[in-house]
Chain A
Amino acid sequence: MRPRLSFEWLHACSGCEIALLNSGELLLGLLERVEIVHFPLLMDHKYTNRADGEGELNLPEAEIGLVSGGVASEEHLAVLRAMRARCRTLVSLGTCATHGGIPALRNQWPIATALKTVYAGPEEGTPIPDTVLASLDRVYSIDEQVPVDVSLPGCPPRPESIIELLEALLAEESFHLPCKSVCETCPTIRTGKGQQKVRRFLANAEYDPEKTVAEMRCLLEQGLLCMGPVTAGGCGGKDAPLCIRARVPCRGCYGPVRQGGNQLLDMLNALASNGMGHRDIVDRRSLLRFSGAHGLLKPLRERK
């Protein structure tokens, strides 16, 4: 019997699923060796018997379950728990699942405030739709709600990494992301002494477009905020990180280097320790834009 794979997506954008499809022929090869038993994007397996709209979630058993997206509603929680119960190995796929991701930015505000902003109508007191009222108090990562066996961060994860992970699981081998921080594979020129002021990204970095990335000066040393030092590496495989290839600084989309790390504290600390202007940063809380779960982003208290 071929191993069974089950996919679900919660508070997600579908980028991780598209990344999987971007692996192209690698995926076709994998498909011959597995059986996909549930995958709402691609196949018509449903949650419930149609006769009775409610009832238990009818998720099939599977050897490997992949779940993308954070947890933000009662329904997400129910689907996640069902996946944990039916899948032997549960993978949290993508930064939303592992650390909350961009949607966890909402944690900076109480849920009631966010709802009011989104549904603000021309008249006072536009009603909030009933369906939305089943929101949880904040956006959670998957591991805050159920035990997780494997985490693969990334926004999105690299297609090759998803395939490698699946291959490793099928062979019952362990899988690790190839490198610690983004800087590890970044080929830019670092002299150890750079700009002291940190400026906003309102003009392009300095580089010669006819030359390679390896001949460009490190963006952080150029005075641009680059979160490479505090972000898990691997987005470009063994080659230059993807945003650096676009000549654009890193914003930390793979989450912290360590599982429990705090990208805001780490980044400010890195700047301060190197004599760079950590107070130049406008909107420092967005340093947690990818890792706002685990209680790291929360509404500011009223100061008495």
Chain B
Amino acid sequence: MNSQPKIIAFCCNWCSYAAADLAGISRLQYPGSIRIIRVMCSGMVHPEMVLHALNKGADGVMIIGCPLGECHYIKGNEMALARAEVIADTLEDQGFDSERFQVAWVSSAEPERLAEIFREMSARLAVLRGTPQVEAVIGD
């Protein structure tokens, strides 16, 4: 059984995904249980996708987009920020600890920062894992 927390990370094609590529080439270390899903813009991640991931057993979910002001589509990350607020507000309602969701802004030239963010998230969730498991919601 994989002892590391399973994390789904929605990474924007133009920044954080590129940073992850760079992290790989540079042989930077971060937990192998991070699953990266490439999206064209952080703004396209619907809150339901985050909830779906948590319901299906992810320990945590991240949305990592371009720093504000640098979005390839101008305002997509502003939408991501607003949507992230929605997720943060409603996670407790749905029965999940708020630590299970994180949004971050990483540029394509910051692979070390990306790896750091992944390591910190994984460590936080490992602590949470010691607490009673939240019951998954039936269906979706």
Q: Which residues of A contact B (CB under 8 A)?
A: 144, 260, 262, 264-266, 268-269, 272-273, 275, 278-279, 284-285, 294-296, 298, 300-301, 303-304
**Closest B residue, CB atoms, query A297:** B93
Contact of A268 among B89, B92, B95 (CB under 8 A): B89
Alpha-carbon distance between A269 and B137 when the two chains are bound, in angstroms: 20
Known: A264-B90, A265-B51, A295-B137. 20 other contacts (CB 8 A): A260-B140, A264-B93, A265-B90, A266-B48, A268-B89, A269-B47, A272-B79, A272-B83, A273-B82, A273-B83, A275-B82, A278-B86, A279-B89, A284-B93, A294-B138, A294-B139, A295-B138, A300-B93, A301-B134, A304-B131
Q: Which B residues are in CB contact (< 8 Å) with A266?
A: 48
Q: Which A residues are in CB contact (< 8 Å) with B138?
A: 144, 294-295
Q: Which A residues are in CB contact (< 8 Å) with B140?
A: 260
Q: Which B residues are in CB contact (< 8 Å) with A285?
A: 93
**Closest B residue, CB atoms, query A261:** B48
Asked whether A278 lies within 8 Å of B51 as measured between CB atoms, the reply is no
Q: Which B residues are in CB contact (< 8 Å) with A300?
A: 92-93
Least CB distance from A250 to B in Å reads 20
**Closest A residue, CB atoms, query B136:** A295
Q: Which B residues are in CB contact (< 8 Å) with A262?
A: 48, 51
Q: A268-B47, A269-B47, A301-B95 are in contact. Are A284 and B89 (CB under 8 A)?
A: yes
Asked whether B92 lies within 8 Å of A272 as measured between CB atoms, the reply is no
